[in-house]
Structure 1
Amino acid sequence: MLGLMQDRPLTLTHVFHRAEQYFGHKTIVTATANGETSTTIAEWAARVRRLATVLDTLEVSADGRVGTFCWNTARHLELYLAAPCTGRVLHTLNIRLFPEQLVYIADHAQDEVVFVDRSLLPLFWPLVDQLESVRHVIVIDDGADAEVPSDPRVHDYEELLAAATPFEGRFPVLDENRAAAMCYTSGTTGNPKGVVYSHRSAVLHSLITLTTDAMALSERDVVLPIVPMFHANAWGLPYGCLLAGSSMVMPGPNMTPQAIVSLLERHRVSVTGGVPTIWMGVLPLLPEHDLSALRTILCGGSAVPRALSEAYREAIGVPMLQAWGMTETSPIATVSSPRSHHAEWTEDQRADYRARQGVPVPLVDVRLVDPDTGELQPWDDQATGEVQAAGPWIAAEYYRGEGGGAQFTEDGWLRTGDVASGDRYGSVRLVDRTKDLIKSGGEWIGSVELENEIMAHPKVAEAAVIAIPHEKWVERPLACVVVKEGENVTAEEILEFLAPRVAKWWLPDAVEFIDEVPKTSVGKFSKKTLREKFASPRVS
């Protein structure tokens, strides 16, 4: 017996039409080089309709890849809907990748057209002649004074829209399994791999962002997505905001702490999201600004230091809401939202919980597996295993079968490469990446836990812990520490601070003071760079 419900496809066309019909009065503000611009969703939707026919005019194929090389702006958001709503595939290019990686990605995806913010032309244009599939480059004038090349492949975004006839009626995407967007991983080994999101996965992921125990996005919110729109669809915030009817504030190219905190204050932002390094920069500015409208600071991309979350709670009464995921998980997989059994806990216990990655969101399944034996690990908060994930917005394979399926199990789960434990309530506590675990004398040491403890030191700004070769113990931890501006601290003080907090054999063999922790293109700590710098073996 079958159900008798309507079979309506889950496509992003619904997200667009819902926003256009019900939330036309809501606003999208964009910070530009020349000040702020503001548009309504009704005005934005009219431009999306024009952009839809522009893609036809440019003869982008029916499922052609539409590349973007842009900041977080309302114009970029137009592309977020125009491409998938016409059956094409949005391909956000990471502006922070090395040139050879960008060339590889654009060619591998077979981008036919790339939309580029004018301020980013100096990065993009030197690569154009190496991009075999790109036939058009559309320049979006964001107020920068970068020279626009005189080349038949180059078009002006506003001129194309002005000449276009708006698409009329409802967008006709009917297959929910059709590709909607793609994003390449920022892996440190081998070439980046393409993750292809379907309309169905994007819609379901967007619905989860509206749930109370995830982001709880609503029509009442003003949302500032600081996480780049070129990174895993900005954690789903753009589509989630349109589905909920939230107003949006786009930060544009100025990502300085002062610019961010000013936007938070001026627009009474209630929800925002970014990586820990962003929030470390904003922290010293908090006493100077009124952020009383802020209710949620979503933080992810790497483990959130307990000290950072607590510093925000003490300064403005709002701790971090930690989330975990990756490009392959669209990316929200777990969220460390408050739970009913926390009611009787002390503030210190709640702070410990907020330092965890949290409980899997609905429709995402997570299991912990011993990477050596393949055995499932118990959720007793003691045993650790590789985090494996499954769900309707979790990748099943990479574009073109890259990677040979090594990151996927025989029964269809994603092998995330993260190592964690889990408690009986389902809360995941990230221990490390499999490649970053330190095996000393046959025992494992978690670098993430060590980093969090070091960053609790009041004079430490950042810390990364890596494994270095050791003649006796095989590997030992080395702490790479960035000291806060104007402060002084010695290696001995760091080790004394750590001594009562971790097992004695976990204590780093040495502390190296560095100017900054190197970052990947998405703001994560680049431990590979540190390992290359401090690779010399040591003896006891």
Structure 2
Amino acid sequence: MLQGLMQARPLLVSAITDYAEQAHGKREITSRLVDEPDWRYDYRGLAQRSRKLANALLDLGICAGDRVSSLAWNTHRHMELFFGVTGSGAVLHTANPRLHADQIIYTINHAGSRILFFDSSFTKLVESIRPRLLTVEHFFSLSPSGAAATYEDFISPASSEFVWPIFDENSGAILCYTSGTTGSPKGVLYSHRSIVLHAMGAGLPAAFGLTAFDVVMPCSSLYHATAWGLPFVAAIAGSKFVLPADRLDPESLHELIEREGVTFTGGVPTIWTAYLEWLDRLEKSPAGLRRVVIGGSAVPVSMAQSFLRQHNVEVLQLWGMTETCPLGVVATPTPQLASRGETEMWETIWTRQGRLQFGIELKLVDEAGCCVAHDGHTPGALMVRGPWVVERYFGSAEPAVDSEGWFNTGDVATLDEDGFMRITDRAKDVIKSGGEWISSIDLENAAAGAPGVKVAAVVGLAHPRWDERPLLVVEPHEGAVISITVVMDHLRDKIVRWWLPDSIIIAEVPLTATGKIDKKQLRIQYQGYYDDAKT
């Protein structure tokens, strides 16, 4: 094999920091804070303060490979940890504050972190768990109040002059844990190489398509799979970056969208359900917003329709996992779809999680492990592999992939000839009734468009005759009154008769730490619901 004669410079996060400073140094970053006035600076300021952080970590004795944890919202200081900690050679563990306290303790101890940075919102939480954090030596409040030692005091004496070290691009950079809905959370250790490649891939026109003219506001949390990689994608593109801190209520988001000229944002469906309801109630519209990428769970078609037809905002579905950095697929238009007309194009996009992206391979297999047809109709277990897909979990000796490098996502999906993927269910959530399969996702999507419905959740429950039958739980919009008869009539026009739920319950729908519907909790809550059903 003849070797190429090109430079073998490693792909490191620090290269993104340097590039953003040199190419887009004056592009603005604005951040809300928990208990302070808004902060404004630019990519040059981000780079300078990240270098100060790196020097401060070095002076404290933090070495390459050491872990540093954060319990923080979407703020500029949290973003500085992304660049300063990783650039120094240490590993940033972004702890999820929405997990149970025992799980937070588990992840920080499992990571073996030596430092914990936290927002003042979590001061009481940190005080309560501090005796159980076995490896943490230093605690710093990211806010000026709430603790004796603060982030600003920590980095203030340090020099902004720092030469980023050069090391193996496969070194660990950021450690994210799964939400742990089954068993203990699992750590996914992103390498510098995977982060840089993911950021380059996510910025392509076929994915997020960000440019220097965009204003990006991540409503996906920085602690959840690095806010879908948006801090790194935006830094490469030179997009203005807007950080909402902990205020994700509709009024606060709308104020930022209008004031800062946000063109691109992203988050889980529950955020946008509340936002759309607020816009409709106040008869408002987000003037400059152009694209919303939504992931975490399936996007109701009614939500996508409302954004486009009422507010001229395109909705792009995203599918991914903590284990995929998280970009897997994004539902963006293609010439093939456009040739069928705008209506069919958007209807296809709204009912698919996305299309193949360079860097991610997908395949579907049946129960015997054999590949199934990519015909858009035949479902199979979804397998993925690629340079930003997990190989093994942090601390585990066993690989998380098969002998060919394929990772089983736990999703059931279809793939069509145009490369579009549609999730039909989680393997554990698909409902088998009378020997036939019912897609809980499709049923939820149909129910979400019914009058007054804010969130719709479907679980399969044991049934004495049919093995399993679907139970539909719907949560109403604030002030709305839901009619079970109206919801059922709405469903009759959308799905086949035998898919109709045997019961509809009006109640609050529980969510996981990442904003997804907590079906595990629903199954526990309604266990035995159909036990007395007639056989």
TM over 0.5: yes
- Cα 1:290–1:451, aligned 2, differ >3 Å: closer, same or farther? closer
Give the letter for the 2:437 counterpart.
W
Give the letter for the 2:517 counterpart.
F
Matching of residue 295 in structure 1 with residue 296 in structure 2 = no
What is the SS of the residue equivalent to 1:42?
A: helix
Give the letter for the 1:409 counterpart.
D
Conserved? CA contact 1:462–1:482, under 8 Å: yes
1:159 pairs, out of 153, 157, 174, with 153
Q: Give the equivalent residue in structure 1 for 2:328.
A: 333
Q: Give the equivalent residue in structure 2 for 1:465.
A: 458
2:359 pairs, out of 355, 360, 363, with 363
Matching of residue 136 in structure 1 with residue 130 in structure 2 = no
Conserved? CA contact 1:261–1:289, under 8 Å: no
For residues 232 and 360 of structure 1, what CA distance do their matches in structure 2 show? Answer: 20
Give the letter for the 2:5 counterpart.
L
For residues 27 and 66 of structure 2, what CA distance do their matches in structure 1 show? Answer: 31
Matches within 5 A, 1:200-279: 200-279=193-272
Give the letter for the 1:252 counterpart.
A
Matches within 5 A, 1:77-88: 77-88=79-90
Conserved? CA contact 2:382–2:409, under 8 Å: yes
For residues 68 and 481 of structure 2, what CA distance do their matches in structure 1 show? Answer: 50
2:94 pairs, out of 77, 92, 116, with 92
For residues 35 and 256 of structure 1, what CA distance do their matches in structure 2 show? Answer: 18
For residues 243 and 348 of structure 1, what CA distance do their matches in structure 2 show? Answer: 33
What is the SS of the residue equivalent to 2:26?
A: coil
- Comparing 260-269 with 284-293, which one deviates more in the overlay? 284-293
What is the SS of the residue equivalent to 2:505?
A: strand
- Cα 1:187–1:119, aligned 2, differ >3 Å: closer, same or farther? closer
Q: Give the equivalent residue in structure 1 for 2:404.
A: 411
Deviations, residues 55-77 of structure 1 (Å, cap 9, x unaligned): 11221232100111111011111
Deviation at 1:219, TM superposition (A): 1.3
1:285 pairs, out of 263, 278, 281, with 278
For residues 151 and 480 of structure 2, what CA distance do their matches in structure 1 show? Answer: 48
Conserved? CA contact 2:290–2:314, under 8 Å: no
For residues 462 and 264 of structure 1, what CA distance do their matches in structure 2 show? Answer: 24
Deviations, residues 472-493 of structure 1 (Å, cap 9, x unaligned): 1111000001122333333222
- Comparing 219-228 with 348-357, which one deviates more in the overlay? 348-357
Give the letter for the 2:23 counterpart.
Y
Give the letter for the 1:488 counterpart.
V
Conserved? CA contact 1:186–1:192, under 8 Å: yes
What is the SS of the residue equivalent to 1:381?
A: coil
Q: Give the equivalent residue in structure 1 for 2:509.
A: 517
Conserved? CA contact 1:84–1:181, under 8 Å: yes
What is the SS of the residue equivalent to 1:464?
A: strand
- After TM superposition, the score normalised by the length of structure 2 is 0.96
For residues 129 and 17 of structure 1, what CA distance do their matches in structure 2 show? Answer: 39
What is the SS of the residue equivalent to 2:411?
A: strand
Deviation at 1:346, TM superposition (A): 4.5
Q: Give the equivalent residue in structure 2 for 1:28.
A: 29
Matching of residue 391 in structure 1 with residue 386 in structure 2 = yes
What is the SS of the residue equivalent to 2:58?
A: helix
Give the letter for the 2:361 counterpart.
D
Give the letter for the 1:532 counterpart.
I
- After TM superposition, the score normalised by the length of structure 1 is 0.95
For residues 526 and 436 of structure 1, what CA distance do their matches in structure 2 show? Answer: 11
What is the SS of the residue equivalent to 2:32?
A: strand
**What runs of 5+ residues in structure 1 fail to find an aligned partner?**
none
Matching of residue 190 in structure 1 with residue 186 in structure 2 = no
Give the letter for the 1:362 counterpart.
F
What is the SS of the residue equivalent to 1:401?
A: coil
1:481 pairs, out of 470, 474, 478, with 474
For residues 307 and 119 of structure 1, what CA distance do their matches in structure 2 show? Answer: 35
Q: Give the equivalent residue in structure 1 for 2:43.
A: 41
Deviation at 1:348, TM superposition (A): 4.2
Deviations, residues 243-294 of structure 1 (Å, cap 9, x unaligned): 1111111001212111011111111111111110000111033365452322
Deviation at 1:351, TM superposition (A): 2.1
Conserved? CA contact 2:55–2:162, under 8 Å: no
Conserved? CA contact 2:316–2:349, under 8 Å: no
Q: How many pairs align? A: 527
Conserved? CA contact 2:438–2:499, under 8 Å: yes
Deviation at 1:343, TM superposition (A): 2.2
Conserved? CA contact 1:116–1:140, under 8 Å: yes
Deviation at 1:111, TM superposition (A): 0.6
Deviation at 1:173, TM superposition (A): 2.6
Matching of residue 173 in structure 1 with residue 174 in structure 2 = no
Q: Give the equivalent residue in structure 1 for 2:524.
A: 532
1:342 pairs, out of 302, 323, 337, with 337
Give the letter for the 2:79 counterpart.
L
Deviations, residues 12-36 of structure 1 (Å, cap 9, x unaligned): 1110110121211111111123432
Conserved? CA contact 2:361–2:385, under 8 Å: yes
Deviations, residues 227-249 of structure 1 (Å, cap 9, x unaligned): 00000010000011111111111
For residues 180 and 151 of structure 2, what CA distance do their matches in structure 1 show? Answer: 32
For residues 115 and 481 of structure 2, what CA distance do their matches in structure 1 show? Answer: 51
Q: Considering only aligned residues, what root-mean-square deviation do their CA atoms show, in Å?
A: 1.5
For residues 326 and 413 of structure 2, what CA distance do their matches in structure 1 show? Answer: 17
Deviation at 1:298, TM superposition (A): 0.8
For residues 210 and 346 of structure 1, what CA distance do their matches in structure 2 show? Answer: 26
Deviation at 1:429, TM superposition (A): 0.8
Matches within 5 A, 1:42-61: 42-61=44-63
For residues 483 and 43 of structure 1, what CA distance do their matches in structure 2 show? Answer: 45
Q: Give the equivalent residue in structure 2 for 1:125.
A: 127
Deviations, residues 347-404 of structure 1 (Å, cap 9, x unaligned): 542224322101121110000111x2111110111110111100000001111117x5
For residues 451 and 101 of structure 1, what CA distance do their matches in structure 2 show? Answer: 29
What is the SS of the residue equivalent to 1:400?
A: coil
What is the SS of the residue equivalent to 1:13?
A: helix
Q: Give the equivalent residue in structure 2 for 1:68.
A: 70
Give the letter for the 1:30 counterpart.
S
Deviation at 1:345, TM superposition (A): 2.9
Matching of residue 16 in structure 1 with residue 17 in structure 2 = yes
Deviation at 1:158, TM superposition (A): 1.0
